[in-house]
A and B are shown apart, each in its own frame.
Chain A
Amino acid sequence: MSQSLRTPVLFFVVALLFILEGSTSFWVFSGSWNSSLAILNMALISAIMALGVNLQWGYAGLFNVGIMGFVALGGLATVLISMPVTHGAWSQGGIGIVFGLLVGAATVIAAVLLHTRMAAGRSRTLAVLGTLIVGFFVYRYIFDAGVAGVEAINPAQTGFLGGLNPGGPDNYKAHGYMTVLAWPVGGLLAAGAAWVVGKTALGLRSDYLAIATLGISEIVIAVIKNEDWLSRGVKNVIGLPRPVPYEIDLQQSADFVARADSLGLDTTTASTLAVKLSYSALFTVVLVALIILAQLSLNSPWGRMMRAIRDNEVAAQAMGKDVTKRHLQIFVLGSALCGLAGAMMTTLDGQFIPGTYQPLRFTFLIWVMVIVGGSGNNFGSVLGAFLIWYLWVQVEPLGQWLMAVITSSMADGSALKDHLINSAAYMRLFSMGIVLLLVLRFSPRGLIPEK
């Protein structure tokens, strides 16, 4: 099949899967549009993450295994932007925290300056070490006091700084647009982290990006889990505002009820569908815009240069291209996309739960999407994201169905039967591995290969 035909056909097949999920309750399909749209919304977000990874891997051959960290930073941005400020948090410690962090940053900068300015020798080592140690204790002294102050404020409800929502604690949900503002901020936050990682890891004699990203993502998660003043840590932030209406408001609107009636839907179903559809619309706009941008960039002089570097780094270097700088650029860009997607995901969830960030789900699954879809091809990554996310969700009922078939001849109540049925959930990981290995082996360029 020629590629120009292959792409639409594959997209059609995937679309069909979503339609089946919504329209029929045959086999593993639920027959619920609600479920179909839920899968679709997360698939749209996953597609953005896959685009970001494809930017890094497909265009530049950079292997990022810290996607989870950037996604979580995006989620953090949503909290920091869309939640209302905690009353009194800034006066009771927030300032101290910021000042403490500044002291910490100043210490590091001073140490680096000392290291570069002073002549190598024992006195330099002592000076650098001294600065670091003194700086660290000063930082901890100021910072810890600030943290204690902030976390003491009504820890059961807040205990964190809160965000920038102008509505205040009582009315912040009216300012749902703030979450949308948080999306680009999430991208920026991730980009900033990526810049630091890339600057360090790509600057080394041979690059160590994979381990660096693996490390930074664990650190990001650790920070988010432990710094309660920032986002309540494992106490989670719930009740984030929404950019779309609430179901309950829709159900109370006479206008909406009338329209649902005319479509022959009961109000509850109609309201959940409407909310999900609004999200889908928002996400689709972002995804389509990003695909267009990615395609334009791919065919721009910049994109050609990136591919030239990828295909022959030595020649590109000889032509005067600053390879490290270009790599850093694309790494930051790709990570920003992951951050953006992370912010969108937290918006969709309406809550920020650090414990849910798992590398298998947020790093390696995205890799499966990119590899299966077709590295180097934007449409491939998007298709991969839709397909893999769909499978990720649907493998669970599929696993249960399979286990039911396997165990149907076993005696009820046998230990093995129970074990098999209870373990069906882990089929999901297993099958993702199988899909990845099959595609990697038999179609190593992915479903929609790079041209």
Chain B
Amino acid sequence: MDFLNALVALSNFVLIPAIAYGSQLALGALGVTLIYGILRFSNFAHGDTMAFGAMVTILFTWWFQSMGISIHPLPTALLALPFGIVVTAMLLILTDRTVYRFYRRVKAKPIVFVMASMGVMFIMNGVVRFIIGPGDQRFADGERFIIRARDFKNATGLNEGLAFKTSQGITIVTAIIVVAVLFWFLNRTRTGKSMRAFSDNEDLALLSGINPERVVMITWIIVAALITIAGTLYGLDKTFKPFTYFQLLLPIFASAIVGGLGNPLGAIAGGFVIAFSEVTITYAWKKVAVYLLPESLEPSGLVQLMSTDYKFAVSFVILIVVLLIKPTGLFKGQSV
């Protein structure tokens, strides 16, 4: 019984949140890795684009809510998501046309793209705050829980309750669908293969008749979808605040690098590695420990390895450790 209780506590506070967070990071890291692989730079505007995508979705959600449209028990944001993706994709293509395309024409070095992405980051940052403000925004509606802690306790007779939030369930399911579709696209379709070819060898892709501009445009559209979904899910699961999204840049970059930059599979693995280490290291293990250890050994403190404020430190340390052991990341990335 104690073991079951410990297991439930573990799932409730570690496994489920980490899987949900990992899925969000993985989606974000996939975007970073795609841009790194195809446009060949790390996009500093990623976090703010994520905020933009989530913001558009939120605006649509509010609009739908005001009109009384809902898909109860699911959150209205899911309905607004496609609209958010379309607007974000249009914004990214516009950014590419006005900013990045010029640098491709003059064959600028990737570092110039990095600097340009800083400029884009400032602009997006300003735009998002200009439109929706810097504060917290709530937009979640629908059923809050798939499993309520109390129902779980009543049903199983355990001391520990297991709460499974709708947002977590949606996050996990959506992430699985998105990743499956993305991999099918990259590995099975002609267009997807042409993107991989372009990432592998630009000149040869050109000689094979692959149109770089088309590859780049499709990349931005995919990135818009990934990032809007990731941003919306994160906002549903936690909260929407522009600055939080900006700060997600570090764990997202760390995920992509840990997994191996330029490698989509790595981005997913990296996302979960980072999420699990963050959650396990900053979790107060006392709750689990009291069930597993005999009373005499019961810990007095919280058994928290590090305070939650250090979660960025965790992603960073994991990153360094992985790079020291495997310089190309867990999966072979392009950054050798």
Which residues of the other chain, B, contact A429 by a CB distance below 8 angstroms?
122-123, 125-126, 129
Cα of A429 to Cα of B323 in the assembled complex, Å: 34
From residue B173, how far is it (CB to closest CB) to chain A in Å? 31
Say yes or no: is B293 at the interface (Cβ < 8 Å to chain A). Answer: no
B126 touches A430 (CB 8 A): yes
Interface residues of B in 92-106 (CB under 8 A from A): 99, 102
Q: Which of A34-42, A95-103, A165-173, A202-210 contacts B (4 or more CB under 8 A)?
A: A202-210
From residue A189, how far is it (CB to closest CB) to chain B in Å? 18
A444 touches B112 (CB 8 A): yes
From residue A140, how far is it (CB to closest CB) to chain B in Å? 8
Interface of A is mostly: helix
B118 touches A367 (CB 8 A): yes
B99 touches A437 (CB 8 A): yes
Known: A204-B327, A225-B309, A429-B129. A212 touches B320 (CB 8 A): yes
Which residues of the other chain, A, contact B124 by a CB distance below 8 angstroms?
433
Say yes or no: is A287 at the interface (Cβ < 8 Å to chain B). Answer: no
Cα of A368 to Cα of B114 in the assembled complex, Å: 12
A218 touches B312 (CB 8 A): yes
A219 touches B324 (CB 8 A): no
B316 touches A216 (CB 8 A): yes
A222 touches B126 (CB 8 A): no
Say yes or no: is A371 at the interface (Cβ < 8 Å to chain B). Answer: yes
From residue A187, how far is it (CB to closest CB) to chain B in Å? 24
B123 touches A219 (CB 8 A): no
A368 touches B118 (CB 8 A): yes
Which residues of the other chain, B, contact A218 by a CB distance below 8 angstroms?
247, 250, 312-313, 316
Partner of B102, one of A367, A428, A441: A441
Say yes or no: is A426 at the interface (Cβ < 8 Å to chain B). Answer: yes
Interface size band for B:
35 or more
A364 touches B118 (CB 8 A): yes
Which residues of the other chain, B, contact A211 by a CB distance below 8 angstroms?
253-254, 257, 319
Cα of A428 to Cα of B123 in the assembled complex, Å: 9
Say yes or no: is A295 at the interface (Cβ < 8 Å to chain B). Answer: no
From residue A426, how far is it (CB to closest CB) to chain B in Å? 4
Known: A433-B121, A436-B119. A206 touches B327 (CB 8 A): yes
Partner of A423, one of B123, B133, B254: B133
B335 touches A214 (CB 8 A): no
A359 touches B246 (CB 8 A): yes
B111 touches A63 (CB 8 A): yes
Cα of A216 to Cα of B320 in the assembled complex, Å: 11
Say yes or no: is A360 at the interface (Cβ < 8 Å to chain B). Answer: yes
Residue-wise, chain B 111-151 has the 8 Å CB interface mask toward A (1 for contact) of 11011101111111111011101100000000000000000
A440 touches B115 (CB 8 A): yes
From residue A143, how far is it (CB to closest CB) to chain B in Å? 12
Which residues of the other chain, B, contact A200 by a CB distance below 8 angstroms?
320, 324
B250 touches A215 (CB 8 A): yes
Q: Which of B111, B130, B249, B313 has the most CB of A within 10 A?
A: B130
For A435, the closest partner residue in chain B by CB is B119
Partner of B120, one of A65, A359, A437: A437
From residue A376, how far is it (CB to closest CB) to chain B in Å? 13
Interface residues of A in 211-252 (CB under 8 A from B): 211-212, 214-216, 218-219, 222, 225-226
Cα of A219 to Cα of B119 in the assembled complex, Å: 24
Which residues of the other chain, A, contact B327 by a CB distance below 8 angstroms?
204-206
Say yes or no: is A277 at the interface (Cβ < 8 Å to chain B). Answer: no
For B45, the closest partner residue in chain A by CB is A433
Say yes or no: is B336 at the interface (Cβ < 8 Å to chain A). Answer: yes
Interface residues of B in 305-330 (CB under 8 A from A): 305, 307, 309-310, 312-313, 315-316, 319-320, 323-324, 327
Known: A63-B111, A225-B309, A436-B118. A426 touches B129 (CB 8 A): yes
A-B contact pairs, 24 of them (CB 8 A): A136-B305, A204-B324, A204-B327, A205-B327, A205-B336, A208-B323, A211-B257, A212-B320, A214-B250, A215-B320, A219-B313, A367-B118, A423-B130, A426-B129, A427-B130, A428-B126, A429-B123, A429-B126, A430-B123, A430-B127, A434-B119, A437-B116, A437-B120, A444-B112
Given A428-B126, A437-B119, 10 more pairs with CB closer than 8 A:
A208-B257, A211-B257, A219-B310, A367-B115, A426-B129, A426-B130, A427-B126, A430-B123, A430-B127, A433-B123
Chain A residues at the B interface, C-beta cutoff of 8 Å: 63, 65, 136, 200-201, 204-206, 208, 210-212, 214-216, 218-219, 222, 225-226, 359-360, 364, 367-368, 371, 423, 426-434, 436-437, 440-441, 444
Q: Which 4 A-B pairs have the closest CB atoms?
A: A433-B122, A430-B126, A215-B316, A433-B123
